[in-house]
Structure 1
Amino acid sequence: MESSKEEILEEVMGKHGGELVRLAFNYVKDNETAKDMVQNTFIKCYENLDNFRSDSAMKTWLYRITINQCKDYLRSWHYRKVHARSLVGSAFNSLLPSTEDEVIKESEQEEMKKLIFSLPPKYREVIFLFYYKSFSLGEISEITDLKINTIKTRLSRGRQKLKNLMEEATIYEG
């Protein structure tokens, strides 16, 4: 007996919802917006479920939809307007004191995140998918619609850029 679209969607939401929100958050940097992006992903999934050919895994299809949703959002006028306002707000909030324990505990992780997020998006994207999400080169190719050799090149250049940034950070700290 075949599952209905609703049953398939419910299963997919339970299985991949959390990781898709984390993926979207890495693009949009806002939890509520990330949830909205994933909700839009599931709407598109539902609408196009009959067209899904199973040429790729459901997970890679969902990742691709989510990434495209996020990229579209980041190009939108609404995002640019909201982002400008939040920059002003975060500049003010950064002046507020934080406890020493929190700073020590999170400083290394935050520094690495900053370095990764300072990379150009084309490098940041493949590094994130490869190292943080453990996707294979083939899966990344399906998600990003790039050739595997392009992904290999971007990984290599991204790692080199990250290494250079880490060395620069060490020089300035030392």
Structure 2
Amino acid sequence: MDNPALGPRDDEFAEIYRMHVDTVYRLCFILLKNTADADDAVQSIFLKMFKHNKTFNDHEHEKAWLIVATKNHCKDVLKSWWRSRRIDMDVLPEKTSWENDKQQGEVLAKLLSLPEKYRTVLYLYYYEEYSVREISKLLDRKESTIQTQLSKGRERLKADLRGGECFEREPSKGTI
């Protein structure tokens, strides 16, 4: 950058933003399910990072921090008073830069319809290519829990894509 108004800290922040904005946006979109909320969340997450002047050991550390901060921020947004009292249109954006064809769009739509616990681990595993061990650390869950959620999430996604019912059924109240 040749902008004399920017200092060395600003240059570093701009580089971190360029490297990770797509990842943060995709995760926000997966969790919040709409572009407007995802855009707002990305801005809030990077603003938080800038204000706290966080230093990182390496690029993996900063990416991991951003993913955890993103997950926590999106959970807060989903729990907010405003979110719980407005009407959700459940409309996907027409096209995103990482949605290349009809099949991938269908997979994304089905992924977004999964419960949050499956949606997040499947996204981190397949889109961000994190290992089960890394996901367990990021989400503060046991590795066995992550493996179970990946397996059940795959089953549900496969069943949804085939148009069939998933074999796993939630226990009804009153049954053991």
Provide TM-score, normalisation by structure 1: 0.71
Q: 2: distance between equivalents of 1:139 and 1:4?
A: 31
Match of 1:100 in 2: none
**Aligned-partner residue type, residue 127 of structure 1:** L
- Note closer, same or farther for the CA distance 1:50–1:26 as it changes in structure 2 (3 Å cut): closer
Match of 2:14 in 1: 10
The secondary structure found in structure 1 opposite 2:89 is helix
Alignment RMSD (CA, Å):
2.7
Match of 2:43 in 1: 39
Count of paired positions? 150
Q: Is this contact kept in 1: 2:121–2:149, CA < 8 A?
A: yes
Q: Is this contact kept in 2: 1:28–1:74, CA < 8 A?
A: yes
Deviation digits for residues 59-89 of structure 1 (CA, Å, limit 9, x no counterpart): 011011111111111111212333x1635xx
- Note closer, same or farther for the CA distance 1:139–1:77 as it changes in structure 2 (3 Å cut): same
Structure 2: give runs of 5+ residues left out of the alignment: 1-6, 92-100, 166-176
Q: 1: distance between equivalents of 2:79 and 2:50?
A: 24
Q: 1: distance between equivalents of 2:61 and 2:35?
A: 26
Residue 86 (1) aligns with residue 86 (2): no
**What percentage of aligned pairs have identical amino acids?**
34
The correspondence for 1:129, drawn from 115, 121, 124, is 124
Provide TM-score, normalisation by structure 2: 0.71
